[in-house]
């Protein structure tokens, strides 16, 4: 019996994944050169499909790296000379902040407790911060920051660069890339691919900053996957090093499938599935939504407090071939996390809720 993965990543594969994998085998993409026209066509196709899906303008390049956490380091090295600023409310946003410390940036932090979200009025950006690091969806806590709040923050701090970690929500957030300088995600979350590819979206202002830093000090921006080198190769739809061609190929195909549905409809479907989950949690005697403020509740990773031990809930679900993620860190025994990505249908979400309802 096949399992259904409501896990926050790696997650359920998108339903068309297998067919695209087979066509990749037919086209022998695992053996082609990354300097061939066939690869350039694959990169170009994936680029076009992501641009259409996420409304990415020509000012921004789209680059392929190893993972999202690699991009944390790249964006810090390439876009910060001295100071960065981080909104932290869980494990992933905290790690981004820790990467800034490890790369010897003066990292400012505004912290909220686990389960709390950020709104525009909560945030004062330090004067000398060059890069503002936001996390659209804090995967560990199931907390989301509204796009309008992120856009407003940038508009009132127009000279600073803004980067958005959208790893566990892309392509759901409706980011305005005329405002947001950079964003990134990896493919094993809402796009429903196996892990092994990070996607970095960055504009000409990020490039200018990286080039300026490179002029001062040739080592500042690092040797591997620095932005000027990525950008130069991107002009020919190539990558500096040999990339994950198979994943780039399949990402383009899945993005094309999602474009057939349309970004607006995808968002509506995500919202309606999230509503099913939150409504169940609110009315249940054994579960509660962890995030109390509805405007900060994530649409893509729903975190539930459980009154019975979380391990019992997970074991009962497993018997029905349903897999959810455990709570993060200290919340391992008292929470479950349910991913709500495009790969799982509303029927599958209803099925999960029916099993959870057996606990009362
Ligand atoms: C999973 C995740 C990451 C890290 O992604 P990797 O592909 O494992 O490097 C970063 N940020 C958030 C919000 C995540 O959910």
Are 340 and 270 in contact, with CB atoms under 8 Å apart? yes
Q: Taking each helix axis as running N to C, give the angle between helix 310-319 and helix 346-357, from 0 to 180 degrees, rounded to the nearest 10.
A: 120
Q: Is ligand 1 within 6 A of the CB of residue 340?
A: no
Predicted TM-score (pTM) of the model is 0.98
Domains 4-11+262-357 and 17-260 share a fold: no
Which residue owns the Cα nearest ligand 1 atom 6? 68
Q: Token digits for 201? A: 């979206």
- For the CA of 136, the closest atom of ligand 1 is 13
- For the CA of 198, the closest atom of ligand 1 is 7
Beta-bridge mates of residue 143: 138, 297
CA distance 204 to 33: 28
Q: Counting beta carbons within 10 angstroms of the beta carbon of residue 219, is it exposed (0 to 12), middle (13 to 18) or buried (19 or more)?
A: exposed
- For the CA of 68, the closest atom of ligand 1 is 9
pLDDT tens-digit series, residues 292-339 = 999 999 999 999 999 999 999 999 999 999 999 999 999 999 999 999
Residue from 10, 165, 183, 186 to probe ligand 1 pocket by mutation (most atoms less than 8 Å from CB): 186
pLDDT tens-digit series, residues 39-94 = 999 999 999 999 999 999 999 999 999 999 999 999 999 999 999 999 999 999 99
- For the CA of 9, the closest atom of ligand 1 is 1
Residue from 7, 10, 68 to probe ligand 1 pocket by mutation (most atoms less than 8 Å from CB): 68
Which residue owns the Cα nearest ligand 1 atom 2? 167
- DSSP-derived letter for residue 146 is -
pLDDT of residue 257: 98
Give Dmax (Cα) for the chain.
63
pLDDT of residue 219: 82
CA distance 157 to 151: 10
Q: Is ligand 1 within 6 A of the CB of residue 144?
A: no
CA distance 184 to 99: 15
The pLDDT-based confidence of 218 (bands split at 50, 70, 90) is: confident
Residue from 69, 166, 303 to probe ligand 1 pocket by mutation (most atoms less than 8 Å from CB): 69
Q: Is ligand 1 within 6 A of the CB of residue 185?
A: no
Q: Is ligand 1 within 6 A of the CB of residue 91?
A: no
pLDDT of 253 strictly over 80 = yes
Q: Which CATH number fits domain 17-260: 3.10.20.310, 3.30.460.80, 3.40.640.10, 3.40.50.2300?
A: 3.40.640.10
Q: Which fold has domain 4-11+262-357?
A: 3.90.1150
pLDDT tens-digit series, residues 80-118 = 999 999 999 999 999 999 999 999 999 999 999 999 999
- For the CA of 72, the closest atom of ligand 1 is 10
| Domain assignments of the chain as residue spans, ordered by start | 4-11+262-357, 17-260
Residue from 64, 145, 167 to probe ligand 1 pocket by mutation (most atoms less than 8 Å from CB): 167
Q: Is ligand 1 within 6 A of the CB of residue 300?
A: no
- For the CA of 71, the closest atom of ligand 1 is 9
The pLDDT-based confidence of 1 (bands split at 50, 70, 90) is: confident
- For the CA of 301, the closest atom of ligand 1 is 15
Q: Is ligand 1 within 6 A of the CB of residue 182?
A: no
Query: Within a 10 A sphere around the Cβ of 6, how many other Cβ atoms?
Result: 26
**Separation of CA 69 and ligand 1 centre (Å):** 6
Q: How many residues does the chain have?
A: 360
pLDDT tens-digit series, residues 133-192 = 999 999 999 999 999 999 999 999 999 999 999 999 999 999 999 999 999 999 999 999
**Separation of CA 96 and ligand 1 centre (Å):** 10
E-strand stretches of 68-128: 83-88, 106-111
Are 4 and 344 in contact, with CB atoms under 8 Å apart? yes
Beta-bridge mates of residue 184: 165, 200
**Separation of CA 168 and ligand 1 centre (Å):** 7
Dihedral sign (CA 23, 25, 28, 29): positive
């Amino acid at each position: 019996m096949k399992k259904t993965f409501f896990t926050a990543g790696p997650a359920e594969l998108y339903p068309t994944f297998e067919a695209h994998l087979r066509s990749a085998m037919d086209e022998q993409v695992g053996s082609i050169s990354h300097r061939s026209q066939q690869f350039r066509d694959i990169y170009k196709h994936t680029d076009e499909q992501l641009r259409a899906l996420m409304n990415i303008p020509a000012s921004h390049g789209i680059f392929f790296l190893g993972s999202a956490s690699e991009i944390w380091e790249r964006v810090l090295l390439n876009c910060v000379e001295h100071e960065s600023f981080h909104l932290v409310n869980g494990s992933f946003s905290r790690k981004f902040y820790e990467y800034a410390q490890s790369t010897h940036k003066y990292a400012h932090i505004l912290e909220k407790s686990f389960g709390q979200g950020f709104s525009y009025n909560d945030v004062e950006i330090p004067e000398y911060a060059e890069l503002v690091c936001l996390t659209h969806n804090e995967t560990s806590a199931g907390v989301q920051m509204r796009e309008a709040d992120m856009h407003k923050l940038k508009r009132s701090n127009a000279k600073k660069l803004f980067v958005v970690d959208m790893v566990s929500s892309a392509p759901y957030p409706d980011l305005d890339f005329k405002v947001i300088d950079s964003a990134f995600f990896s493919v094993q979350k809402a796009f429903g691919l196996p892990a092994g590819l990070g996607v970095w979206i960055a504009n000409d202002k990020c490039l200018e900053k990286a080039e300026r830093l490179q002029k001062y000090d040739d080592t500042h921006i690092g040797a591997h996957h620095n932005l000027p080198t990525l950008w130069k190769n991107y002009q020919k739809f190539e990558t500096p090093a040999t990339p994950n061609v198979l994943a780039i190929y399949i990402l383009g195909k899945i993005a094309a499938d999602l474009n057939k549905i349309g970004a607006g409809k995808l968002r509506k479907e995500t919202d309606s599935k999230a509503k099913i989950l939150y409504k169940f949690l609110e009315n249940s005697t054994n579960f509660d939504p962890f995030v109390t403020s509805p405007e900060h509740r994530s649409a893509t990773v729903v975190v539930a407090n459980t009154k019975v031990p979380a391990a019992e809930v997970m074991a009962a679900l497993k018997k029905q071939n349903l897999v959810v993620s455990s709570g993060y860190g200290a919340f391992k025994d008292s929470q479950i996390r349910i991913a709500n990505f495009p790969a799982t249908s509303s029927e599958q979400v209803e099925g999960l809720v029916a099993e959870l309802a057996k606990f009362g």
